[in-house]
Amino acid sequence: MKQKRNVQINLMIYLAMKRLLLIMGMGFSLNSVAQAATGALNGKAIFDKNCSVCHSVMPPPKTAPPITPLASHYHQKYSTKKDGVNHLVAYLKSPNKDKAIDPQAITRFGLMPAQPLPDAELRAVAEWVWDQYNPNMGMGRGMGMGMGRGRGMNQ
């Protein structure tokens, strides 16, 4: 009798494990489907391919301002991601001194060439740039970009 119960319990555990594995497996495959769908528009990958030749993410700079301090500038100037990304996309399409978020960067590095990417890719990479903002990294702490303005906590 006792033996039979044990077998039953074992069977229950076995079935539960099997179901768990099945659910986990489904989770994994759904993840990879989602990844494949967005893979073409992965902002970081677009950056690595098209922008990293000039831009580093963190200081020191290559031949253009590093992305993290630029993201800080954007967060300081625009309160919503939508506005920031819209400006960024417009700038990537046609950089010009009047629209630059940091005109000093042009003096130091020259004007960025227009980025001939499809709109969707520009938008994806612009969103990625916006997301590189790190609130723990203030501006003006030896960024080497002449951005000596401090940032308050509430910005």
Instruction: Give min distance, CB of 108 to ligand HEC, in A.
Output: 8
Instruction: By CB under 6 A, tell whether 50 contacts ligand HEC.
Output: yes
Instruction: By CB under 6 A, tell whether 64 contacts ligand HEC.
Output: yes
Instruction: By CB under 6 A, tell whether 75 contacts ligand HEC.
Output: no
Which DSSP string corresponds to 59-79? SSPSSS--HHHHHHHHHHH-S
Q: If you compute the radius of gyration of the chain from its CA atoms, what whole number of angstroms results?
A: 24
Which residues inside 76-95 make contact with ligand HEC, applying CB under 6 A? 88, 91-92, 95
- Please identify, using beta-carbon distances, which residue of 4 and 98 lies nearer to ligand HEC: 98
- Please identify, using beta-carbon distances, which residue of 105 and 143 lies nearer to ligand HEC: 105
Pick the binder of ligand HEC from 66, 68, 69, 70 (CB under 6 A).
Answer: 70
Which two three-digit tokens encode residue 133? 């903002």
Instruction: Give min distance, CB of 36 to ligand HEC, in A.
Output: 22
**Rounded alpha-carbon distances, angstroms, from residue 138 to 66, 69, 130, 132:** 14, 9, 15, 13
- Long-range residue pairs from 145-151, CB within 8 A, at least 24 positions apart, any chain: 145/59, 145/61, 145/65, 145/66, 145/69, 145/102, 145/104, 145/105, 145/108, 146/104, 146/108, 147/69, 147/73, 147/102, 147/104, 151/72, 151/76
Instruction: Give min distance, CB of 49 to ligand HEC, in A.
Output: 9
> For binding to ligand HEC (CB under 6 A), which residues are involved?
47, 50-51, 53-55, 63-65, 70, 88, 91-92, 95, 100-102, 105-106, 109-113, 115, 117, 125, 129
